[in-house]
Amino acid sequence: MSSTPSILSHVTAANSITSTGALLGLAAVALTLNGLHSAALTCLIGAVLCDRLDGIVARRLGQSSDFGMQLDSLADAVSFLVAPAAVVVILSSANPVVAVACAAFVLAGLWRLAHFNVHGMDTGGTESVFRGLPTTIAGSGFLLVWAGLRLSPIAPHADWLLAGFLLAMAPLMLSTMPIRKNGWLIKALQILALPTLIAAWWV
């Protein structure tokens, strides 16, 4: 009978990058609590980059595994679901209406991640397609909106607008809308990463 491998046997470069992304999500929440919003935004942008880089490293170094897939899903839940929701709740001073909107976002994202882990992507055509909005895209969109609001005259109402954005993302994550893996939406978010980082430190 084979024995269960040690948890530490899964320590690889790719899994370390994934873990770093989750820690950056937690750091963003802590920084927001201390009013360091620019630093919090930077941490969340770093989490997005980690989510992109871990897959590249895993493929290049032959470190792809079922463990890595599960770890990536858990890191996504922290950085792209719990962290954005917690940030908005903090910005709203725990307004109960905002908290409900954020809870809906988190729950929808968790269901989306669980569904994806079971069913994966559609791979029958010429290109792999996600069904429903990936949590990474929802989280990246949150960063763009937050950075933009910090530069706008309606910044004092950012908490309500961000809550509205998260609430709008919930049904999209639960939908069956097709999102191409290497489509224009994902490429646009990658291109906007640097301008978002600059905007994060503009104010």
Q: pLDDT of the chain along its 203 residues, tens only?
A: 557 888 888 999 999 999 999 999 999 999 999 999 999 999 999 999 999 899 999 999 999 999 999 999 999 999 999 999 999 999 999 999 999 999 999 999 999 999 999 988 777 666 788 888 999 999 999 998 998 888 777 767 789 999 999 999 999 999 998 888 776 777 777 677 767 777 667 65
User: Cα–Cα distance between 28 and 85 in angstroms, integer?
Assistant: 11
What residue numbers bound the domain in which 49 lies? Answer: 13-200
Give a yes or no: residue 4 inside a domain.
no
The DSSP symbol for 77 reads I
User: Cα–Cα distance between 88 and 198 in angstroms, integer?
Assistant: 21
- Residues 41-56: b if buried by 16+ CB within 10 A, e if exposed: bbbbbbbbbbbbbbbe
Q: Please tell me the predicted confidence (pLDDT) of residue 32.
A: 95
- Per the CB < 8 A criterion, the answer to whether 47 and 25 are in contact is yes
Give a yes or no: residue 1 inside a domain.
no
Q: Please tell me the predicted confidence (pLDDT) of residue 34.
A: 96
Give a yes or no: residue 123 inside a domain.
yes
Give a yes or no: residue 129 inside a domain.
yes
Report CA 101 to chain centroid distance, whole Å. Answer: 17
Q: Tell me whether strands 129-131 and 178-180 are parallel, antiparallel or unpaired.
A: antiparallel
- Residues 101-137: b if buried by 16+ CB within 10 A, e if exposed: bbebbbebbbebbeebeeeebeeeeeeebbbbbbbbb
Give a yes or no: residue 2 inside a domain.
no
pTM of the model: 0.90
Give a yes or no: residue 96 inside a domain.
yes
The CATH number linked to 170 is 1.20.120.1760
Give a yes or no: residue 119 inside a domain.
yes
Q: Total structural domains in the chain?
A: 1
CA nearest neighbour of 161 among 177, 141, 175: 141
- Per the CB < 8 A criterion, the answer to whether 169 and 138 are in contact is yes
pLDDT tens digits along 137-173: 999 999 989 988 887 777 677 899 999 999 999 999 9
Give a yes or no: residue 114 inside a domain.
yes
The DSSP symbol for 122 reads B
Q: Please tell me the predicted confidence (pLDDT) of residue 120.
A: 81
